Copies of this chain bind each other. A is one copy, B any other.
Amino acid sequence: MAPTRTPSTPVDRELMRGAGPTAVLKLLERGEMYGYELVEAIDKRTDGILAMGQSTLYPLLYNMEAKGLLASRWSEENARPRKYYRLTAAGRKRLAADSLQWRAVAQAMGSLGVVYALS
C-alpha cells in the first residue's frame, strides 16, 4: 500500500496567479512531459496545493509555447497521441527570473510578518 497522501486544499488560484507557470517551468527543467502528466505531477509534487484543472493547465501551455518559453512535439505514430513539452532557452531564462521573483516575494512577505523568514 502506497503511503497515504492527504491533499491540502488548493490555494485560491486567483490569489496566486503566476504560480502555475513557474511550477510548469520547474517541472520541465528535468525533461519533457506532456500536459496530462503535468496536471498530475503538479498535484502530487505540491501535495495538492498548486493543483490545477486541465482547463487551466492546457491554455497555460499554449500560452507559454506562444511566448516561446516552451516547445512541443507530438508522440510517435501509433502511440497514444500526446503532446510533449520541453523548455526552450527562453524558458530556462524565465525560470531563473521567476525563481528570483519568488524569492523576493517570500522575502517581502517575511518582512511584513505574513510568513516566517526563509532559512
Residues of A within 8 A of B (CB): 8, 11-12, 14-19, 21-23, 26-27, 45-47, 49-50, 98-99, 101-109, 111-119
Report how far A106 CA is from B8 CA in the complex, Å: 13
Q: Which of B12, B19, B118 contacts A116 (CB 8 A)?
A: B118
| A19: B residues at CB distance < 8 A | 105, 108-109
Report how far A113 CA is from B111 CA in the complex, Å: 22
Q: Which of B18, B99, B108 contacts A47 (CB 8 A)?
A: B108
Closest-by-CB residue of B relative to A51 is B108
- Chosen A-B contacts, 20 in total, with CB atoms closer than 8 Å, are A8-B104, A14-B17, A14-B18, A15-B98, A16-B17, A16-B18, A16-B105, A22-B114, A23-B108, A26-B114, A45-B112, A46-B111, A49-B104, A49-B105, A49-B107, A50-B105, A103-B115, A106-B106, A106-B109, A116-B119
